[in-house]
Chain A
Amino acid sequence: MKDKTVTENRDKKKRKEKRSFGGYFLCLILVLYLFLFFFEPERIMDSLKSSGVMCIKIVPILLVVIAFMGILNFFLNPKSVAKHIGKESGMRGWFWAIATGILSHGPIYLWYPFLEQLRDQGMRSGLAAVFLYNRAIKIPLLPVMIYYFGTKFVIVMLVYMILASLAEGKIIEMTKG
């Protein structure tokens, strides 16, 4: 009971800190927009329009991520997280991080809250890094990449990128980043 209250208080504090940082950050960007507006009004209007379009575009993926987080909240517990992507996960954890990283969609920043939640439940930091690195490999975009750089280039680069992701994950775990 006491543990639960401590965790809840910690979560509340964390959420409050996050909200105030986000508020300051957003204010800073808005001040930058306002400042630039005096020099480049047309470009700033274009930029705002493009932000609006981007916001509309991310709505579906935002809903998917929220649904994922909700489902995880419901089904996962620290024990199962530890088994699949936690300290006890071993090779399976690396495999899951690579596979889910490659298969995940949408902008990278939408996945940060999801990873934060998993890490709070016991996910290894190295696996979070592997997941983020492998998000760089986008299967639907491979034909375009092949068109510009050729099949051999793309295959060789992807193999090295997966190896690099594992190296990054290992280093992060060693340094406890």
Chain B
Amino acid sequence: MKNKREETEKKSKNIAISLYEAFKSFCTALPTLFGVILLISLFHTFVSKQMISSVFTGNVPGDTFIGSMIGSVSAGNPLTSYIIGGELLKDQVSLFAVTAFIVAWVTVGIIQLPAEVTFLGKRFAFTRNGLSFILAIFVSIATVTTLTVIQ
């Protein structure tokens, strides 16, 4: 009986230590995380929807590339990317460009890159973001082509 109680106490103590270790590890991450949050807010305050739609030229391949680029340097809730994407479609920006834009928005994180490099390593972060940028263009081409075929 006593042994069981001791074991339970030991277990809860170990869980508490594990949680404390996790908390300590997170505290180390806080300056980087605060930096990323401040950077995202700066982006939201200084870059407007109008600024984003003004960079598209009407040339489909070029716009797809630009879409992926703008999506990559943008950050924030994906909902915002859908709203901007919807507005871009209304402004006659091609679906290729808009798709590349919304995919890159959520898969590439240039603003979060310092945090990703800190935790997951330079090589991993750069390879992952580079590949996601290229794949956003591929996903956009594949999606719109498939839609054209099935419609």
Q: Chain A residue with minimal CB distance to B34?
A: A26
A90 part of interface (Cβ distance < 8 Å): no
Give Cα A72 to B132, complex, Å.
28
Tell whether, in the assembled complex, residue A152 and residue B45 are in contact, meaning their CB atoms are under 8 Å apart. no
Q: How far is the CB of A73 from chain B (nearest CB, A)?
A: 4
Tell whether, in the assembled complex, residue B38 and residue A51 are in contact, meaning their CB atoms are under 8 Å apart. yes
- Of the residues B26, B103, B116, B120, contact of A65 by C-beta under 8 Å: B26
Tell whether, in the assembled complex, residue B35 and residue A136 are in contact, meaning their CB atoms are under 8 Å apart. no
Tell whether, in the assembled complex, residue B31 and residue A25 are in contact, meaning their CB atoms are under 8 Å apart. yes
Q: Chain A residue with minimal CB distance to B19?
A: A70
Give Cα A91 to B62, complex, Å.
37
Q: Tell me the number of A-to-B contacts counted with CB atoms below 8 Å.
A: 192
Q: How far is the CB of B112 from chain A (nearest CB, A)?
A: 5
Tell whether, in the assembled complex, residue B41 and residue A50 are in contact, meaning their CB atoms are under 8 Å apart. yes
Q: Which of A's residues lie within 8 Å of B, judged by CB?
A: 15, 18-19, 21-23, 25-26, 28-30, 32-33, 36, 40, 43-44, 46-48, 50-51, 54-55, 58, 62, 65-67, 69-74, 108-110, 112-113, 115-117, 119, 125, 128-129, 132-133, 135-136, 138, 141, 144-145, 148-149, 152-153, 156-157, 160-161, 164, 167-168, 171-172, 175, 177
- Of the residues B28, B37, B83, B85, contact of A54 by C-beta under 8 Å: B37
Q: How far is the CB of B145 from chain A (nearest CB, A)?
A: 10
Tell whether, in the assembled complex, residue A43 and residue B45 are in contact, meaning their CB atoms are under 8 Å apart. yes
Tell whether, in the assembled complex, residue B22 and residue A33 are in contact, meaning their CB atoms are under 8 Å apart. no
Q: Chain A residue with minimal CB distance to B84?
A: A148
Known contacts: A21-B32, A153-B147. The answer to whether A129 contacts B22 by CB under 8 A is no
Tell whether, in the assembled complex, residue A22 and residue B119 are in contact, meaning their CB atoms are under 8 Å apart. no
In the complex, chain A residues whose CB is within 8 Å of the CB of B112: 108-109
7 closest A-B pairs by CB: A22-B31, A70-B19, A136-B106, A69-B22, A177-B127, A73-B18, A112-B119
